[in-house]
Chain A
Amino acid sequence: MGKWTRRGVLSAGVLGGTGLVIGIAVRPGNPTETAGHLVLGEDENLLHIYLKIDGDNRATAILPHSEMGQGAQTALTQMLAEEMDADWNLMRFEEAPANAEYANMAVGRGYLFKGIDFPDVVVPTVDGLMLNLADALGMQITGGSMSIRTTGQYFLRAAGASVREMLVKTASKAWGVPESEIRTAKSMLHHDSSGRLAPYSEFAAAAAEMTPSSTPKLKKTSQFSIMGHSKPRHDIPSKVDGTAMFAMDVKRPGMVYAAVKRTPVAGGTLRRVDDNAARAMKGVIDVVKVGPSSAAGLVGTYSAGDTIAVVADSYWTAEKALASLKLEWNTEGKERVSSESIFEQFDRDITAGVDRANDVAMGDATAAFDSAATVLTADYRVPYLAHTCMEPPNATAEVFADRAEIWVGCQNPLGFRQHLAANLGLDVQQVTLHNYFMGGGFGRKSNADYALQAAMIARQVGRPVQMVYSRAEDIKQDFYRPAVQSRFKAGLDADGKLVAWQNTYVDKHEPVEAPLIPYAIAAQDIGHVASPTHVPFGAWRSVDHSQHGFFTESFVDEAAHAAGRDPYEFRAEMLKDKPRLLAVLNRVAKEADWGRPMEEGRGRGISLQESFGSIVGQVVEVTVSGGKTWVDRVVAVIDAGYAVSPDGTKAQIESGIIYGLSAAMYGEITIEDGAVAQSSFADYDAIRMHDSPVIETHIINSGAEMGGAGEPGTPGVAPALANAIFDATGKRVRSLPVIKADLRSDAEASPAVAALGA
């Protein structure tokens, strides 16, 4: 295969060749032997790799996912606590260390073997296999909206249930009563007829000697008392009083600060540096160069060019000195590349269709277009997008000849640790990684480039170094949501029914199903062509769905209007055999009061998007006045199968919508002379308080297999917005961001419409 993908490597590693191999070392067994030394404090017993209990009966979930705002740690703890019949007030959680024992086997199992029920006897073998594989790949990933639907669903619930079983067994032996007579509730064991009762902690040490079952009996939904209820997030109190620790809040004895600048043209090298002025500044310690690096990322492969760093006794001095450097960079022949030239290339490559590969080939599209009564075509475009996490990339490092220590906030601690070890010439065991809350992640903090920069600088200066990106550096040295062009052709029959759908786009990554449509259209020809650029790309909240959601849900809207049909009803008719999707669509139309007359200058649009195992419907209401768009209201419905923490799910949808809306309204990274042109929130802005809409979120618990929540809110907002703008103005936005579209119309000359925006 040409590039690393989760699906590709896992498939090749596990299924390529002999399929499931029996006889691989089975882990996890008794966790105390392998992981106890990593996570246990005084007076604590490790009953399961994911759970320990202390002498005061407090239980701590040990979670292999990091916190970047999504709140999954609280929800995961709920899942474990539910099955173990814990007292919620006695539950805590901590993040697992970056060790092989805590590699994300669940992500692999969920990804590869989704929906497969293994016979009980092979479950430990499959888990052991996935663990070995996940360790080898450095997977301790938080991404893909995976935490709850894989780790939670496959492992934490089983962990809770198996711990409960072990505690019952040990109590039964100690009390000399049958297991069936022992009842558990709120972290207590009860034997009602004898009146015996004991806290879990009393039997924790004995239970820790046992090997937990991989296939304990799980509860039914109707038995839940912790799952399905909104529990306040454990991390929130520390985030209102300034005590929450982010990586940038770390301070090491003797620590100095580094400001950095990497080659403006991605992959470039440093030709010349004049650092005389910088070195003369009071407080400047050193000016050092860091060479290029590359590694597999969650999506694609990252590669980064030369970096120049100024190390000083304060960050402000380092920044000032960095600005004084006279730098000359090699541009590697990319100095003529611009956003215009990139889109010209996309256009050319789509037209040429060289090596076009099909995602879907269904029915006879050529014949269907030939006999269609109406054919419509359109080209859609989206620009590159940066992540702009509120906390810019930063890391603190201490590097010695035989070991290294790093303090960072990242989405893949184990992967970062392995990447650092490989590049520092150390064994993984010689690298210690401390992971902190991330001030935003959104995919950016899955690439280890920034952690490695800090380590390389620290090694050169021989002191603890805290490296911090300026906001400009953050924006210019990102791994961007790619710019993409997508070409559509649709055929309608004489009755206005969609009979043919053709789509060719550039740049296919993940998830592979992102460009697919759910609608019953007999002839479909969906495919892609390669059109690579030198601009680094990576995972950006919802990944390929972020562009294809906009493309497909806008173009199906165009088809509805071409057919003279209501866009909601037009979709609904094509979803008769997809009851789950139809239920979401119907619900969002109902909650938004679809069809309610709107004033001139106002409009509403609808979208439906399935991503990361969840279905989200959105209705956006806008006011367009004086060519300016105001988003007034967003109504969203999510069916994630089952919402473990309903308010947490709602918060994720609200967040995903604002993230998608920021991009749709304002987000545009442009390339000029081969380099990124933007450098601050002034030219790469986000939605703020004054232009944020009211968001109303509704949850459907359909009981279907669990889906994610962190990303599914994002893809549907741009198309619903564009569809609403069309409804308000008759103008179709086929290129984002919206602020660049000319939306002035005759209707807006009317004072009544102008007044709406005032």
Chain B
Amino acid sequence: MTTFTLNGETRTVDTDPETPALWVIREQLDLTGTKFGCGMAQCGACTIHVNGRAQRACITSIASLEGASITTIEGLKGDDGSLHALQQAWIDHQVPQCGYCQSGQLMSAAALLADNPNPSDADIDTAMRGNVCRCGMYGRIRSAIKQVAGASFYDAMEGSQNG
């Protein structure tokens, strides 16, 4: 039995303690926004927050989450249902294409900004390099993060520097 807080609610699961959190969250707790991309922490599609830090759910055993506070993409919105500033920026910049990696991208970006509200380009590189986007929307992701951070960003739609 493992007990943790998931998006603000206390949950208890009874499963093989070695099972990666990814599969427990998707199969048993029916939250499918967290994605399977590689199972080896090489792509970032399964990124969740564990006690506020970005972590790859595919290599996080469920037993290691005893007593932890977990946030998934479904819990990124505010308590009133309003979008997180990054989610709105993602829409503003029309970031997603296929969208499959974007839950992970958003969770990595949200953990970055919570920790460092004014990240440099190098900070963004470091925080986001674990998240692969095969549609290649890195430029728009960077711009969206910078917009939320209040920094100047390159606007791909307008083709100019902004902010």
Contacts and interface: CB of A to CB of B under 8 A. Distances in A.
Given A392-B36, A471-B40, A242 B31 contact: yes
Given A388-B134, A390-B134, A647-B157, A241 B91 contact: no
Contacts of B134: 388-390, 440, 442, 659, 662, 686
A417 to B, nearest CB: 22
Contacts of A316: 16, 19-20, 23
A665 B43 CA distance: 18
Interface in A660-702: 661-662, 680-682, 686-690, 692, 694-698
A633 B90 CA distance: 22
Interface string A689-720: 11010111110000000000000000000000
A650 B27 contact: no
Interface in B90-125: 90-91, 94-103, 106, 124-125
A239 B40 contact: no
Contact of A692 (B91, B101, B138): B138
Chain B interface: which size bin? Answer: 35 or more
B135 A694 contact: no
B33 A690 contact: no
Contacts of B101: 390, 439
A650 B35 contact: no
A669 to B, nearest CB: 15
Give the size range of A's interface with the partner. 35 or more
Interface stretch (A227-235, A532-540, A743-751): A227-235
A654 B87 contact: no
Contact of A230 (B102, B133, B157): B157
Contacts of A392: 36-37
Interface string A294-319: 00000000000000000000111101
B142 interface: yes
- Mostly helix, strand, loop or mixed at chain B's interface? loop
B151 interface: no
Nearest to B38: A471
B159 interface: yes
A439 B136 contact: no
B136 A237 contact: no
A390 B132 contact: yes
A438 B133 CA distance: 14
Contacts of A167: none
Nearest to B142: A689
Interface in A395-444: 437-442
B67 interface: no
B97 A689 contact: no
Contacts of B130: 688
A655 B156 contact: no
Contacts of B27: 257, 314-315
Contact of A659 (B19, B30, B136, B154): B136
Contacts of A232: 91, 94
A630 to B, nearest CB: 12
A681 B136 contact: no
Contact of B32 (A235, A249, A698): A249
27 contacts: A239-B96, A240-B90, A240-B95, A242-B72, A246-B35, A314-B23, A390-B43, A390-B101, A390-B134, A390-B135, A437-B100, A440-B100, A471-B40, A647-B94, A654-B156, A655-B97, A656-B136, A658-B135, A659-B136, A680-B38, A681-B42, A687-B136, A688-B128, A688-B130, A688-B131, A689-B124, A689-B142
Interface of A: 67-71, 230, 232-233, 235-246, 248-249, 251, 257, 282-283, 314-317, 319, 388-392, 437-442, 468, 470-471, 647, 650-651, 654-659, 661-662, 680-682, 686-690, 692, 694-698
7 A-B pairs closest in CB distance? A242-B33, A658-B136, A439-B100, A239-B99, A69-B98, A69-B97, A242-B73
